């Protein structure tokens, strides 16, 4: 609560500071998750340009990662509690608002161009990050514990993820060859799964579920999440609580 | 000594439970909905949110299973969304749960929602019983309890 209060005060001071030092401010509202897949056409700046990320699905780590990928947005700030969004009634990104002495001179939606992507039919076989081929049959035979996780961890929609990943690592210390971690593909690519493996020091097989097929097959809506199957591939446990060690010996 | 301590704990819990003013709104098919006096399962979402879209069949199922034990209200957060686009999306997938389009973000702000998806369960007095980012087992269990199943 105090951190949130401090963030709000710091944000207000930042905005007030800009108002004092520059008569004309230009707020450019972007959504970083869209910016990864499309480029905003930025018109000539008409004042001190401040990039603003709405306070929706964002945290400081994601913001920092975006700035590293796109240094042009180095002064991008999070609109804490969407104060500017409400003040200027912004409901669409990308948009810009030009303000002089507290008065709005211009408010407009900006254009953006999607990045070119190919829609080639993907026929590649699923493999672990270390290159081991995986078929549905192998997943049933080779692994007892399937750990469904998200490489965006830590993030607000998966609040307990770091703890559960630690628990899974402890479980994997017993029989790492029996555990498969499966990474959610939403908003990330395979590199993110590699980073996850390194960041959390994973000692067992990890697969990037590129087409979300394992998540769909096992009907996973909670994350991170365990599914335990017996030697015949029959699911004998599923839940957000770490399974017991004896399952690994089945 | 134990009873005052227990009372203090209960008071402390109730003092910290978030309580919201009743939500009165109109759904996309022009029905009036209200959370006043009703246990309500609110789901905040957007069509561009992959996690939200993936969970939609579960929301539909929760709505169909409710049988009057709670009401489901889906709130499209209206950010980077259009009313027509949302209607088209729901119609295409034959979702028929009550949906409110939060055109100016007021409802999203009222419930302090800063991410999608967001699931909030409130009791008949408007107190928050449960909140999560995803459709968790815990949420499924609470809905089942409301239906008298567990």
B11 within a domain of the structure (yes/no): no
- Conformational region of residue A89, where left means phi above 0, alpha means psi within -120 to 50, and beta covers everything else: left
Beta bridge partners of A179: A145
Long-range contacts of A196-201 (CB under 8 A, 24+ apart): A196/A149, A196/A151, A196/A153, A197/A129, A200/A165, A200/A169, A201/A169
* CA separation for the pair B78, B110 (Å, rounded): 14
Does the beta carbon of B134 lie under 8 angstroms from any beta carbon of chain A?
A: yes
- What pLDDT score does B5 carry? 44
| Nearest Cα residue to B70 out of B122, B139, B112 | B122
Interface contact B115-A156, CB threshold 8 A: yes
What average pLDDT does the segment B103-112 reach?
96
- What pLDDT score does A117 carry? 52
Structural domain including B141 reads: 24-148
Find the range with the poorest average confidence among A118-122, B82-86, B134-138.
Answer: A118-122
Q: How far is B106 from chain A (nearest CA, A)?
A: 9
- For residue B148, pLDDT over 80 is answered with yes
Q: Which residue, chain included where needed, has tokens 């910016």?
A: A35
B3 within a domain of the structure (yes/no): no
B10 within a domain of the structure (yes/no): no
- What was the ipTM of the complex prediction? 0.84
Query: What domains can be seen in chain A, in order of their start residue?
Result: 8-109 (3.40.30.10), 126-249 (3.40.30.10)
Domain at B42, CATH number = 3.40.30.10
B14 within a domain of the structure (yes/no): no
pLDDT tens, A93-105? 999 999 999 899 9
Residues of B in contact with A57 (CB under 8 A): 49, 114-116
B35 within a domain of the structure (yes/no): yes
Whole-model pTM: value is: 0.87
B46 within a domain of the structure (yes/no): yes
pLDDT band at A4 (very low <50, low <70, confident <90, very high): low
| Structural domains of chain B, count | 1
């Amino acid at each position: 609560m105090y951190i949130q209060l401090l963030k709000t005060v710091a944000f207000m001071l930042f905005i007030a500071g800009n108002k004092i030092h520059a008569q004309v401010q230009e707020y450019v509202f972007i959504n970083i998750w869209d910016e990864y897949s499309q480029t905003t056409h930025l018109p000539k700046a008409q004042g001190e340009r401040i990039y603003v990320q709405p306070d929706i699905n964002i945290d400081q780590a994601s913001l920092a990662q975006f700035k590293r990928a796109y240094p042009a947005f180095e002064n991008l700030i999070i609109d804490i509690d969407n104060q500017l969004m409400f003040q200027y009634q912004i409901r669409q990104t990308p948009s810009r608002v030009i303000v002089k002495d507290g008065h709005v001179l211009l408010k407009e939606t900006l254009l953006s161009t999607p990045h070119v992507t190919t829609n080639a039919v993907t026929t590649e076989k699923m493999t672990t990050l270390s290159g081991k081929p995986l078929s549905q049959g192998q997943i049933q035979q080779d692994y007892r514990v399937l750990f469904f996780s998200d490489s965006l961890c830590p993030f607000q929609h998966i609040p307990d993820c770091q703890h559960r990943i630690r628990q899974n690592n402890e479980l994997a210390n017993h029989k790492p060859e029996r555990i498969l971690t499966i990474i959610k593909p939403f908003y990330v690519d395979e590199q993110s799964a590699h980073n996850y493996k390194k960041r959390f020091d994973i000692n067992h097989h990890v697969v990037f579920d590129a087409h979300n097929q394992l998540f769909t097959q096992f009907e996973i809506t909670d994350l991170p999440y365990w599914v335990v199957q017996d030697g015949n591939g029959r699911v004998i446990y599923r839940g957000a609580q770490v399974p017991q060690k004896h399952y690994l010996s089945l | 000594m134990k009873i005052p301590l227990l009372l203090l704990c209960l008071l402390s819990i109730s003092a910290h439970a978030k309580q919201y003013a009743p939500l009165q709104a109109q759904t996309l098919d022009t029905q009036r909905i209200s959370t006043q006096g009703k246990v309500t399962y609110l789901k905040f979402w957007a069509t561009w949110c992959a996690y939200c879209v993936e969970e939609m069949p579960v929301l539909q199922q929760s709505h169909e299973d409710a049988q009057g034990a709670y009401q489901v209200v889906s709130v499209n957060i209206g950010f980077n969304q259009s009313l027509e686009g949302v209607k088209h999306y729901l119609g295409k997938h034959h979702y028929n749960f009550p949906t409110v389009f939060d055109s100016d973000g007021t409802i999203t702000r009222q419930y302090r929602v800063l991410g999608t998806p967001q699931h909030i369960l409130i009791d008949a007095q408007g107190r928050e019983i449960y909140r999560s980012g995803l459709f968790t087992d815990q949420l499924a269990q609470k809905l089942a309890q409301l239906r008298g199943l567990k």
